[in-house]
């Protein structure tokens, strides 16, 4: 008896020891396999505009994590009913489910039912492969049991619902609800929750998009499982099964017009804020951007329209960028007419700027020097500068022109003359202020003939100084970045830098307005205030051919640039038209934006002098000289003419006798003059010469008027 008792005790002790060893082994092996970092799920990053509208999603797995608290109870019950009905009662494995599955497999002679719990499925999806070995199954059980020790049932169900695949690149129940029903998971109805729960077994086979009949059949199976578990009554199940398969597919498609901008957002996140590409694709961030969707889409439509290109250049490329003047936020960007992700982004490609460079390299620094003003006279002649002899585009020269007119009509000869006067070093210093690193040191840089060129984004950034009180600001594509919990992680912190005086900026704005109103930038139509500059670079390989065509301009609220040309210019591939094409394109892009179209005028800043319009003297051809009684003597001669209502125009009055002229007076603010006590026996004539006091330049002499007699008294 004692021997039997001893054997029994020993056996019991052995069983306890083996159990303890197995328990410790389960814990150790499970803990060894579990890596908490793997439980951190890849989550979709959203890019949204400043109103919260989703622009695009960045992901490896399209997943938006949600809390179990927002998942309706009836949706939770659907998944538990069909996937693991005893989920809340077991410790990771369900012995009864395994036995039932094993029995049915034996009866069927093949594997027809799985016995995996929700926790086992989570373990397999996170930590293991899909191989069918006993070792893998053993690890699955061990990990599942340890997961049950570490986490609550609600935590496990939340991880499961966020991780499972629902087909069509949707991971997690929130992405699935959005894809199939265009709603949040919190809005899912009973039958919709049942449909999603039914897909877990085979997401592609039960896809309501590709296989609606099978999907409905599977949904009805889940509803039956919910009835069996006590979640629904028979009457409810009958009603829900009678409902049609109603889906509202919200399949995510990438908007082609956004591709350039999205790439520039990714670049900025990496370069300015040091986010890796993997972080962006898996971190579940919310990136807020300043893009204006209407402008982005409208500019994409127009830049692809052949009507905006020369007839012979329907295959030419183009780039466009537009920035908010106040903030520096980029509102729209197009890197090409058929831009592809991570392709050639022409917003950042350096090109020869031509005459759009003149205001930056020549005119602004000349005004800053103080020796020149908008109505200073520049030499307009074809001169030779040690072998460099620039010519005007029409090869005609006036001898002298104002700085104002040199900008307005984009004259090359006076521009280079002015650059030579102020010096290359002064120009380079100013360009460095505009943050343009130019290696060139020749006079050709004044006409935009550069070794490396500049980008449309650089030109936009530099012209902002003209548009906004002489100050530059850094363009940005990201307003802010938030993590999954909504915590601010990074974002723009702008600082302005003064590069030219307020007075110079205002004078440049007025002169660049004239470019659009009466100069080289008048092509096309626009009803809002616009200042800007055109530019065309010649292709010497073909007479009349061009390499690059530009327009850079701004309104009171936005500044931007358009470039046109070929990536590589050859004798078979060159522009047959110039800057009028990008000018029209730029204007029509702005014409499509209602907010911009409401702008009224540029507002003169306080503390600056207004730049009056230029004096445009016209020839006087109606001078009359009338002899009459009275005046300052017995007789007098009254001279009258039609003049300008501009006190800046003075009138020099001359008396002509025997071929010699004698100035009698200078008249200001009037169009008549009384010659006192004339000698009626001497034949004298008179003429008037207008004089521009701003340029100190005389105009063309009037007609010579003979004296006629008129009765009467003054």
- What are the tens digits of pLDDT across the range 385-424? 999 999 998 899 999 999 999 999 999 999 999 999 999 9
In a domain, 275, yes or no: no
Catalytic residue among 64, 83, 191, 687: 83
pLDDT computed for residue 218 by the predictor? 96
pLDDT of 623 higher than 80 = yes
Q: Which residue, 321, 567, 326, is CA-closest to 459?
A: 321
Q: How far is CA 192 from the centre of its chain?
A: 39
Q: Which residue, 682, 672, 675, 662, is CA-closest to 635?
A: 675
Q: Which of 223, 241, 259 is the last residue in one of the domains?
A: 241
Residues 411 and 341 in one domain: yes
Extract the tokens encoding 701: 């002499």
DSSP 382-440: ---BTTB----TTS---EEEEHHHHHHTT-HHHHHHHHHHH-HHHHHHHHHHTT-----
C-alpha to C-alpha distance for 379 and 401, rounded to whole angstroms:
7
What is the four-CA torsion angle of 536, 451, 567, 448, rounded to 10 degrees? Answer: -10
pLDDT computed for residue 598 by the predictor? 78
Number of domains in the chain: 3
C-alpha to C-alpha distance for 714 and 710, rounded to whole angstroms:
11
In a domain, 304, yes or no: no
The count of other CB atoms within 10 Å of the CB of residue 699 is 19
Residues 476 and 393 in one domain: yes
CB 399 within 8 A of CB 381: yes
In a domain, 246, yes or no: no
Residues 525 and 651 in one domain: no
C-alpha to C-alpha distance for 264 and 60, rounded to whole angstroms:
19
In a domain, 674, yes or no: yes
pLDDT in tens, 151-182: 999 999 999 999 999 998 899 999 999 999 99
Residues 372 and 433 in one domain: yes
C-alpha to C-alpha distance for 6 and 4, rounded to whole angstroms:
5
Higher pLDDT, 178 or 659: 178
Residues 694 and 580 in one domain: no
What pTM did the predictor assign?
Answer: 0.81
Residue 705, beta-bridge partner list = 686
pLDDT computed for residue 109 by the predictor? 47
Catalytic residue among 178, 215, 257, 355: 355
In a domain, 463, yes or no: yes
Residues 628 and 590 in one domain: no
Residues 562 and 639 in one domain: no
In a domain, 220, yes or no: yes
Q: How far is CA 207 from the centre of its chain?
A: 37
Residues 589 and 644 in one domain: no
**Residue-averaged pLDDT of the chain:** 89
Active site residue 458: no
C-alpha to C-alpha distance for 55 and 390, rounded to whole angstroms:
48
pLDDT of 542 higher than 70 = yes
pLDDT computed for residue 112 by the predictor? 38
Q: Which of 207, 224, 241 is the last residue in one of the domains?
A: 241
In a domain, 98, yes or no: yes
pLDDT of 247 higher than 60 = yes
Q: Which of 241, 263, 290 is the last residue in one of the domains?
A: 241
Is residue 98 very low, low, confident or very high in pLDDT (cuts 50, 70, 90)? low
Residues 574 and 641 in one domain: no
Residues 353 and 226 in one domain: no
pLDDT of 463 higher than 80 = yes
CB 302 within 8 A of CB 308: yes
Residues 450 and 542 in one domain: yes
Range of the domain at 389: 321-597
pLDDT of 7 higher than 70 = no
Active site residue 368: no
Helix, strand, coil share (%) of the chain residues, nearest 5: 40, 20, 40
In a domain, 559, yes or no: yes
Mean predicted confidence (pLDDT) in 682-692: 91
DSSP 666-704: EEES-SEEEEES--TTS--EEEEEEEETTTTEE------
Mean predicted confidence (pLDDT) in 689-714: 83
Taking CA atoms, 260 is separated from 263, 266, 580, in Å, by 5, 10, 25
CB 564 within 8 A of CB 304: no
pLDDT computed for residue 658 by the predictor? 86
pLDDT of 626 higher than 60 = yes
Taking CA atoms, 218 is separated from 118, 207, 213, 487, in Å, by 19, 10, 9, 41
Lowest-confidence region among 315-319, 509-513, 600-604: 600-604
Cβ partners under 8 Å of residue 658, min gap 6 = none
Instruction: Quote the percentage of the chain above a pLDDT of 70.
Output: 88
Query: What CATH number does residue 131 fall under?
Result: 1.10.3810.10
Residues 346 and 197 in one domain: no
Element (H, E) at 645: none
pLDDT in tens, 375-393: 999 999 999 999 999 999 8
């Amino acid at each position: 008896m004692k021997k039997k008792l001893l054997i029994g005790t020993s056996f019991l002790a052995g069983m306890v020891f083996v159990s303890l060893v197995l328990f410790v082994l389960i814990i150790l092996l499970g803990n060894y396999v579990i890596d908490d970092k793997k439980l951190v799920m890849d989550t979709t990053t959203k890019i949204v505009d400043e109103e919260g509208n989703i622009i695009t999603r960045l992901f490896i797995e399209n997943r938006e994590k949600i809390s179990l608290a927002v998942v309706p109870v009836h949706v939770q019950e659907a998944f538990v009913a069909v996937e693991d009905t005893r989920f809340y009662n077991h410790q990771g494995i369900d012995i009864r489910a395994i036995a039932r599955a094993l029995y049915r497999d034996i009866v069927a002679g093949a594997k027809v039912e799985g016995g995996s719990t929700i926790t086992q499925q989570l373990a397999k999806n996170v930590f293991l492969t899909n191989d069918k070995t006993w070792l893998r199954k053993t690890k699955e059980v061990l990990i599942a049991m340890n997961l049950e020790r570490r986490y609550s049932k609600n935590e496990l169900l939340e991880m499961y619902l966020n991780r499972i695949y629902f087909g069509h690149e949707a991971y997690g129940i929130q992405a699935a609800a959005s894809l199939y029903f265009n709603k949040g998971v919190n809005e899912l109805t009973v039958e919709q929750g049942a449909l999603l729960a039914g897909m877990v077994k085979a997401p592609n086979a039960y896809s309501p998009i590709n296989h609606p009949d099978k999907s409905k059949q599977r949904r009805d199976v889940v509803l039956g499982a919910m009835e069996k578990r006590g979640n629904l009554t028979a009457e409810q199940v009958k009603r829900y099964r009678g409902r049609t398969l109603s889906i509202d597919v919200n399949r995510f498609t990438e908007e082609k017009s956004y591709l350039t901008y999205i790439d520039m957002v990714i670049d900025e996140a990496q370069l300015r804020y040091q986010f890796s590409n993997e972080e962006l694709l898996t971190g579940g961030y919310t990136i807020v951007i300043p893009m204006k969707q209407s402008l982005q889409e409208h500019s994409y439509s127009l830049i692809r329209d052949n009507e905006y290109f020369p007839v012979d250049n329907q295959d030419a490329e183009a780039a466009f960028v537009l920035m908010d003047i106040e903030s520096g936020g980029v509102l729209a960007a197009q890197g090409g007419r058929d831009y592809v992700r991570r392709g050639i982004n022409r917003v950042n490609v350096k090109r020869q700027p031509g005459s759009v460079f003149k205001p930056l390299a020549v005119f602004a620094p000349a005004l800053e020097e103080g020796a020149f003003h908008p109505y200073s006279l520049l030499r307009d002649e074809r001169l030779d500068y040690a072998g460099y002899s620039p010519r005007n585009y029409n090869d005609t020269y006036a001898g002298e022109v104002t700085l104002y007119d040199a900008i307005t009509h984009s004259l090359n000869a006076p521009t280079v003359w002015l650059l030579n006067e102020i010096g290359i070093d002064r120009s380079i210093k100013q360009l460095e202020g505009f943050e343009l690193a130019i290696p060139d040191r020749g006079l050709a840089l004044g006409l935009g003939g550069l070794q490396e060129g500049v980008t449309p984004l650089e030109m936009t950034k530099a012209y902002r100084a003209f548009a906004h009180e002489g100050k530059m600001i850094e363009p940005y594509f990201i307003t802010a970045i938030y993590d999954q919990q909504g915590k601010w992680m990074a974002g723009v912190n702008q600082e302005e830098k003064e590069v030219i005086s307020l007075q110079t900026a205002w004078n440049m704005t007025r002169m660049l307005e004239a470019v659009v109103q009466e100069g080289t930038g008048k092509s096309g139509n626009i009803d809002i205030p616009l200042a800007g500059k055109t530019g065309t670079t010649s292709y010497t390989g073909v007479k009349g051919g061009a390499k690059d065509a530009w327009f850079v301009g701004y309104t009171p609220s936005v500044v931007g640039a358009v470039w046109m040309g070929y990536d590589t210019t050859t004798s078979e591939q060159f522009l047959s038209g110039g800057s009028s094409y990008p000018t029209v394109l730029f204007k029509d892009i702005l014409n499509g934006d209602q907010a911009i179209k409401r702008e009224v005028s540029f507002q003169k800043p306080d503390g600056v002098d207004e730049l009056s319009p230029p004096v445009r003297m016209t020839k006087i051809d109606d001078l009359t000289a009338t002899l009459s009684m009275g005046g300052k003597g017995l007789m007098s001669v009254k001279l009258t003419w039609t003049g300008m209502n501009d006190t800046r125009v003075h009138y020099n009055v001359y008396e002509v006798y025997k071929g010699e002229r004698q100035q009698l007076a200078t008249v200001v603010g009037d169009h008549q003059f009384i010659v006192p006590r004339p000698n009626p026996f001497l034949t004298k004539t008179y003429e008037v010469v207008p004089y521009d006091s701003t340029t100190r330049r005389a105009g063309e002499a009037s007609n010579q008027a003979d004296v006629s007699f008129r009765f009467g008294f003054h």
